[in-house]
Structure 1
Amino acid sequence: MKKIYNILFALIAVLSFTSCSNDIDEVFDKSSAERVNDAIAEYKTVLTSAENGWLMKYYPKANTKYGGYNLLLKFGTDGNVTAMSDALGADTKATSHYKLEQSASIVLSFDEYNKVIHFFSDPANPAGIGNNGKGMEGDLEFRVLTATADSVVMLGKKRGTKIVMTPMAKDADWTETINQIDDLEQEMQFPKYTCEVNDVKYVATTSYRTITFTSSNAEDGSTTIPYIVTDKGIEFYKPITLNGISIKGFNYKGGDNYEFESSDAAVKMLGVVPPISEQVISGDWFFSVANMGSYTQTYWNAGNEEVSKHYSPCNYAVFTTSTFDGYAGHWGILFNVAGYGSFIDITPTIVDDDHISFACPGKFGLNGQYFYSWGQMYMIYALTGDEGSHAAGVAKTYKIELLEGTTKQPSSIKLTDESNPNNWFVLTTSMPESLF
């Protein structure tokens, strides 16, 4: 009898196992490779079904320090993608290959050089943004989290930044879209901004596409958030809280007060047009030796000749605020020498609305100390009168004249040494083709 029971138990176990096995087979009726191929095919259908392409909100670098950019992307069934962005403007469009593949998850990869897309990942950024050898540190591979006809949400494979794509309207013109964004960005640019939140005042400044709010209450400190430019204003990477109020971004209203309004209309921000002397130290201003006085040219040419003997000629020079890792926040001259940065601190003092003085405190970032000793000291001497001692009180004062643009958006200014009319130079907001 015991033997019969054992046989029955064994038979029941076999039947139970068989039943479970059938359930498993019904659930997993395809191999893992087949399921991956199906997912890839599904995602490709989503990507290629957007008739007028996608608007990608792209944030390079893990800490999003360079802000966000708009990329327009049209994916073809032939494996090619056409791209345009507000970083390079509507005049630049490029087509290259893309692919979807399995790599721990489904990954969208831009695996062929594309001038528009690779602008953000090129280690030698064409606009000189970022550290040499790193550039803007953008991703070219993205893990697809969700993909529907309404949106595609991804994470940068290396940097981990969140990337969202939404379909372009069928009747939207790409060129008009990019031009509208670029034009609005220019219109919204101010040296600084002010806003008041529940009786607390803030001053805001921008660098690349990040904005920093500094509270009038010293104990509150500053809040920095990256943003992307939209057709209405600016949209933050994520909401920020100022004095208890959550803000997602601002729409630009304009008017005599240059007014911005938060997305929910709870907070207003105003663009501020400061004196031109303040604007010298709040933006990026490029030098050109062709637009210098005879005295100034002599020293800049001598300095470049010496630097060339030691290394290579200077490509460009710009008054700017450093964003380099470990040296952010310093103001001075950034020289680019064959792709390498040389940052020399300059101490500006605003004398009045149209006068400013410059001194050299003897502080250097990146390779500044080397290039300074190799010849850039000549340029600094012409600017400040400093012969290398960096002594207090050694400075030169300049009168500032507006040459091109408006007081709100000056594009070209001339600075003339009050003690030497032959020591003058013109600064522009656009980079010249060459420094020399």
Structure 2
Amino acid sequence: MNKNLLYFLLAITLVASCRKNDDNAFNKSPDERLNETLTAYQKALTGSSYGWNANLITGDGGSYRFYFSFNDSNRVLMYSDFDSTTATVIKESSYRLKALQQPSLIFDTYSYIHILSDPDASVNNGTYGSGLKSDFEFRVDTVTTDSISLTGRFNGSKLSLRKAAQGDRAVWANGQVTNGVVNFKNYWKFLLYFRRLTYSGTQYELQFDTTIKKVTVSWISGTRTNSVTRGYYFWANGIYFSDPVVNGSVSIPGFSINSFSSGSQIMNVTVNGAAAIISGFSSPINPDVKDAANRWWTFGAASDYYWICFDGFHSNGVDDAYNLKSIKNDSAKFYFLLYKPNTNGVDAFFTIYRDTLDNSLDVESGSWVTMNITTSTGESKFNEYQIRSAWPATGPGDLTRKQMFQSSGYYFVQTSSITYDQVSIADAKVWATWYWLF
């Protein structure tokens, strides 16, 4: 037999063998295999006897805690630590598993998880158009016996589900998460601006960014200043971190809040089962303070717009302590303080009024200003270079002007991506909040 013919017959045999093996490997259609996968995921979702504890990390890095209980009728019960209502009232809505480009979990009726992605910023204190950069449609990444990991299809938020223990739902139902949400409001009743957790012989400064639920924790170890940022969520009567804060052999997962005394200005908390306290301080630990003032000024100087302060100075626990919002001139009322850094000359510090008849804005009083920053410490001082429009001789405007130019100066603290606090060095019970809204 011709040798070439033998080679040809051998090749046909091999191809036929491969085809037979392929047929065995793919003896089900793609739709059948996909349906089997969706069925397996449905079984996993509904198979947790006590539901799921869930952590959702938004596209901005904020941490939110959820509880889910799924059933076979495509209904889901949930709690969320978004606020005291979502932490108290269990919500029922619908869900479905669907093959989009890959198997996905979709919360398809408005529920607590939709609040975070709501484009109406008045709903979640996020950004108009994008909310808190979260999702309500998630692709399924991995499924194990006790966990499910998912990724948001639009904003890339991360949703991690872990099987709940028998008592976990009771933490929500018994109000312990709600207690954490409510008790945390007392944290903002400290009169001194800087707050520190004292635990196991070390003071840890806490700086919360509530817009994206992050906390920066700073402490001194020997000659070194340490600072880490964590997401946080409410759980079991307090605040817990997305990852523990570790200082040598000390690990801090968070703290439960036991009480707050407005008289002594002490918050009693528990860390790892041990008593600890949070109290107010007059000076910062976070090394970012050294750079914040220059960052605030430079950001404003690089734009044609300006920083805005709506409430004037906070003092001794009182917002708008000098009562700027009470002043008016005919049909025009105080609207905000303006500060415009300027690289080509002096800065502007003005009071802006809005006319209630035509909504026009006007400078009522103000000064040209220079700002001096000590880069080694971040301490900043404002100097009045020249009056642009006369200030009142007495009252809210006069008090604001005197406070702004007091000689001891200020620390600047960045509190979110669009806000800074200007904190008095002479009296840390006095500060103003500046917004960038452009």
State the TM bucket, normalised to the shorter chain.
Answer: 0.5 to 0.7
Partner secondary structure for residue 183 of structure 1:
helix
Normalised TM-score (structure 1):
0.58
Partner residue in 2 for 1:344 = 309
Amino acid at match of 2:129: G
1:31-180 equivalences under 5 Å are 31-60=29-58, 62-64=59-61, 67-87=62-82, 88-114=85-111, 116-170=112-166, 173=169, 176-177=172-173, 179-180=175-176
Cα distance 1:63–1:51, how it changes in 2: closer, same or farther (>3 A)? same
CA distance in 2, matches of 1:37, 1:129: 39
1:354-365 equivalences under 5 Å are 361-363=337-339
Pair 1:261 & 2:266 matched: no
Amino acid at match of 1:120: L
CA distance in 2, matches of 1:94, 1:259: 30
1:174 CA drift (Å): 5.1
Question: Gaps spanning 5+ residues in structure 1: where?
Answer: 279-325, 331-341, 377-385, 398-436
CA distance in 1, matches of 2:163, 2:197: 34
CA distance in 2, matches of 1:111, 1:203: 41
Amino acid at match of 2:208: T
Question: Gaps spanning 5+ residues in structure 2: where?
Answer: 189-193, 260-265, 284-294, 300-306, 325-335, 341-348, 357-362, 369-383, 385-390, 392-396, 401-438
Note if contact 1:181-1:230 (Cα within 8 Å) is conserved in structure 2. yes
1:321-332 equivalences under 5 Å are none
Note if contact 2:81-2:233 (Cα within 8 Å) is conserved in structure 1. no
Cα distance 1:345–1:229, how it changes in 2: closer, same or farther (>3 A)? same
1:259 CA drift (Å): 4.6
Partner residue in 1 for 2:278 = 271
CA distance in 2, matches of 1:107, 1:241: 36
Amino acid at match of 2:110: Y
Note if contact 1:181-1:229 (Cα within 8 Å) is conserved in structure 2. yes
Partner secondary structure for residue 365 of structure 2:
coil
Deviations 1:251-270 (A, max 9, x none): 4485887355369x9xx974
CA distance in 2, matches of 1:184, 1:351: 25
Pair 1:204 & 2:206 matched: yes
> Aligned Cα RMSD in Å?
4.5
CA distance in 2, matches of 1:25, 1:271: 68
Partner secondary structure for residue 164 of structure 1:
strand
CA distance in 2, matches of 1:14, 1:200: 78
1:178 CA drift (Å): 6.6
Partner secondary structure for residue 78 of structure 1:
coil
CA distance in 2, matches of 1:44, 1:9: 51
Amino acid at match of 1:271: I
1:355 CA drift (Å): 11
Note if contact 2:312-2:320 (Cα within 8 Å) is conserved in structure 1. no
Note if contact 1:90-1:178 (Cα within 8 Å) is conserved in structure 2. no
Deviations 1:175-232 (A, max 9, x none): 7447201213444553454258999864222122311124569995853321122327
Higher mean C-alpha deviation, range 186-195 or range 21-30: 186-195
Cα distance 1:176–1:350, how it changes in 2: closer, same or farther (>3 A)? closer
Note if contact 1:194-1:271 (Cα within 8 Å) is conserved in structure 2. yes
Note if contact 2:171-2:177 (Cα within 8 Å) is conserved in structure 1. no
Partner secondary structure for residue 396 of structure 1:
helix
Pair 1:225 & 2:220 matched: no
Note if contact 1:89-1:179 (Cα within 8 Å) is conserved in structure 2. no
1:284-433 equivalences under 5 Å are 344=309, 348=313, 361-363=337-339, 373-375=353-355, 387-389=364-366, 394-396=397-399
Normalised TM-score (structure 2):
0.58
Deviations 1:144-203 (A, max 9, x none): 122244121112222223211123334555574472012134445534542589998642
Amino acid at match of 2:354: W
Cα distance 1:234–1:8, how it changes in 2: closer, same or farther (>3 A)? farther
Cα distance 1:86–1:47, how it changes in 2: closer, same or farther (>3 A)? same
Percent identity among equivalent residues? Answer: 22
1:90 CA drift (Å): 4.5
CA distance in 2, matches of 1:348, 1:354: 7
Between the two proteins, the alignment pairs up a number of residues equal to: 313
CA distance in 2, matches of 1:175, 1:220: 36
